[in-house]
Chain A
Amino acid sequence: MAEAVATPGVVMRRAVALEAQRHTALVRATHWISSLSFLVLVLSGIAILLAHPRLYWGEAGGLGGPSLLDLPLPFVLDTPIRGPGRYLHFLAAWVSVFTGAVYVVLGLASRHFSRNLWPARAQLKLAEIKSVLGNHLHFRRATAEDLAAYNVLQRIGYTTVVFVLFPLMIWTGLAMSPAVTSVFPFLATTLGGQQSARTIHFFVACALVLFLLVHVALVWQTGFRSRMRAMITGRAGSERKDAS
């Protein structure tokens, strides 16, 4: 760092970068650890699901009885897939839960949620939502103002993922555990039963995958390089400056 001060160009670039500080170290670190563990959870979840791609409602269900939904997938009982799948699922779940806990506790302490994520009342107007949607649908390039703070759709999306979908995944996951429900039966009974919990676990996972696809598509649309750099280094910068 001492060496960098000697080069005027570096100092200037650092000044610009500081101005454009986009994501804190906490957000960046938890973002990438969560991304990795989520990817492992999805893949291992598919491996587990393929053992019995049939969904039920209520407490119990099996072949020969009625189902809620028969997914158009083959039954794959190969243990080389399912074995590592089950172990990896619980390993990644622990990583995800610990990361999420750190993110939520430090996010609350640093007022990250109230400042950056919670949609302001003024933003929750139809006109505002329409304007953001319109920008995306017309593939308008993000302005400097856009890059400085999350827009209303981002805020709604991220708070839903953090405070609704992820907690639901944990709840429905625990509701499938006979040991956990032996202490907290309401975890399963409020959902309609153990099989209902499994079914909700599946659909909420689908919602999270859908979020991921939209998220990546929008990152792509609004400037993949600057967005990726912002989430890796913390500094935003605009696309045009990259080229120079």
Chain B
Amino acid sequence: MSSRHSRRTLIKAGLGALAGASGFAAAVRLADRHGLIPANCRGVYGLSETLTYAGQRLLTRLPSMAREFDRSQISTVIPVNGKAPQTDDYKRLRDSGFADWRLTVDGMLARPGALSLAELKAFPASTQITHQACEEGWSFIAEWTGVPLWRVLEHVGIDPKARFVFFFTIDGWWDSIDMDDARHPQTLLAYAMNGPQMPLDHGAPLRLKVPRQLGYKNLKYLSRMTVTDSAKGIGDGLGSSAPAAGYSWYAGI
């Protein structure tokens, strides 16, 4: 073991580490450019979260439509997770048939503002019979009607540099989806479920319907929608309100 030998080993190891690090950095830049880095990539489980997200995003850029079902397959029992808010504000909105409710729309778009339920219903509607699975394990099939989110985003003039659409609810939850899901034809701002209206406990007046993700991404009781190019600066910067509870930002699982 000469010192020359160990120096050569050291230089080789250093060059190897440098090549590895720069290769990794290049891969990260490439993945980022193609929208394959999730909002929670810096969390404790960032590596596996990124692998799952990048893998599924590469896959869902092939023709990708959530499975649709026959009307006869609609579930007869639909469990409720999180009942309608019991606040005075919500009760007042409910009692007036949500006439005074507005969806605030802001962020990276040309025409920020607020949309009423009637304005949302004036868009061409879309109906789907899809499966919704709760991360707990149970699931149901229901028929949903609403306005495709992409129509609303076009209407308000979304900035092409936007990367996330954040949603905030009357009862304090918030979450976000990427542009792949925001522009997907099956992603709805849903105002009806299994009938002409949205049942109160299922999210009236408006809930998000993202059928290619688990149930918890389908936020109920929407009140505000913000378009951004970064998840940083909102909450803990991981893209949703409860990542620590196991509610991973990306829930295509």
* Residue ranges of A at the interface with B (Cβ–Cβ < 8 Å): 48-49, 51-52, 54, 56, 59-65, 77, 79, 82-88, 90-91, 93-94, 176-183, 185, 188-189, 194-195, 198
Q: Across the interface, name the chain B residue whose C-beta is closest to A188.
A: B67
**Contact indicator A178/B136 (Cβ below 8 Å):** no
Question: What A residues does B45 contact at CB under 8 A?
Answer: 87-88, 90-91
Q: Is B73 located at the chain interface by the 8 A CB criterion?
A: yes
Selected from A52, A94, A185, A194, the residue in CB contact (under 8 A) with B51 is A94
- Distance in angstroms from A21 CB to nearest chain B CB is 28
- Distance in angstroms from B161 CB to nearest chain A CB is 25
Given A59-B141, A60-B141, A178-B252, check contact A83 B244 (CB 8 Å): yes
Q: Is B211 located at the chain interface by the 8 A CB criterion?
A: yes
Question: What B residues does A77 contact at CB under 8 A?
Answer: 136
**Contact indicator A179/B59 (Cβ below 8 Å):** yes
- Distance in angstroms from B43 CB to nearest chain A CB is 8
How far is B52's CA from A195's CA once the two chains are assembled, in angstroms?
21
Given A86-B246, A94-B52, A179-B252, check contact A65 B131 (CB 8 Å): no
Question: What B residues does A185 contact at CB under 8 A?
Answer: 67
**Contact indicator A94/B59 (Cβ below 8 Å):** no
Give 23 pairs: A residue, B residue, CB < 8 Å, sorted on A.
A52-B138, A59-B131, A59-B141, A60-B75, A60-B131, A60-B140, A62-B75, A63-B138, A82-B245, A83-B246, A87-B48, A87-B246, A90-B52, A91-B45, A177-B252, A177-B253, A179-B59, A179-B212, A182-B64, A182-B66, A182-B211, A188-B67, A194-B131
Q: Is B145 located at the chain interface by the 8 A CB criterion?
A: no
Centre residue among A48, A178, A180, A188 by max chain B CB count within 10 A: A178
**Contact indicator A65/B66 (Cβ below 8 Å):** no
Q: A90-B45, A179-B213 are in contact. List 20 more A-B contacts (CB 8 A).
A: A49-B137, A56-B138, A59-B141, A60-B139, A62-B138, A63-B79, A65-B76, A65-B77, A83-B244, A84-B246, A177-B253, A178-B131, A178-B211, A178-B212, A178-B253, A179-B60, A179-B252, A182-B66, A183-B60, A189-B67
**Contact indicator B60/A182 (Cβ below 8 Å):** yes
Question: What B residues does A64 contact at CB under 8 A?
Answer: 77, 79
* Residue ranges of B at the interface with A (Cβ–Cβ < 8 Å): 44-45, 47-49, 51-52, 56, 59-60, 62-67, 69, 73, 75-79, 131, 133-141, 211-214, 242, 244-248, 252-253
Given A87-B248, A178-B213, check contact A59 B136 (CB 8 Å): no
- Distance in angstroms from B187 CB to nearest chain A CB is 12
Selected from A51, A62, A65, A183, the residue in CB contact (under 8 A) with B59 is A183
Selected from B52, B63, B140, B245, the residue in CB contact (under 8 A) with A183 is B63
**Contact indicator B67/A181 (Cβ below 8 Å):** yes
**Contact indicator A176/B246 (Cβ below 8 Å):** no
Given A60-B141, A178-B212, A198-B137, check contact A183 B248 (CB 8 Å): no
**Contact indicator B246/A182 (Cβ below 8 Å):** no
How far is B240's CA from A114's CA once the two chains are assembled, in angstroms?
49
Question: What A residues does B47 contact at CB under 8 A?
Answer: 91
Question: What B residues does A85 contact at CB under 8 A?
Answer: 246
How far is B136's CA from A195's CA once the two chains are assembled, in angstroms?
12
**Contact indicator B52/A62 (Cβ below 8 Å):** no
**Contact indicator A62/B252 (Cβ below 8 Å):** no
Q: Across the interface, name the chain B residue whose C-beta is closest to A82.
A: B246
Q: Across the interface, name the chain A residue whose C-beta is closest to B73.
A: A59
Question: What B residues does A178 contact at CB under 8 A?
Answer: 66, 131, 133, 211-214, 252-253
Question: What A residues does B52 contact at CB under 8 A?
Answer: 90, 94
Question: What B residues does A188 contact at CB under 8 A?
Answer: 67
- Distance in angstroms from A94 CB to nearest chain B CB is 5
- Distance in angstroms from A145 CB to nearest chain B CB is 43
- Distance in angstroms from A61 CB to nearest chain B CB is 6
**Contact indicator B56/A177 (Cβ below 8 Å):** yes
How far is B81's CA from A64's CA once the two chains are assembled, in angstroms?
13
Question: What B residues does A56 contact at CB under 8 A?
Answer: 138
Q: Across the interface, name the chain B residue whose C-beta is closest to A193.
A: B131
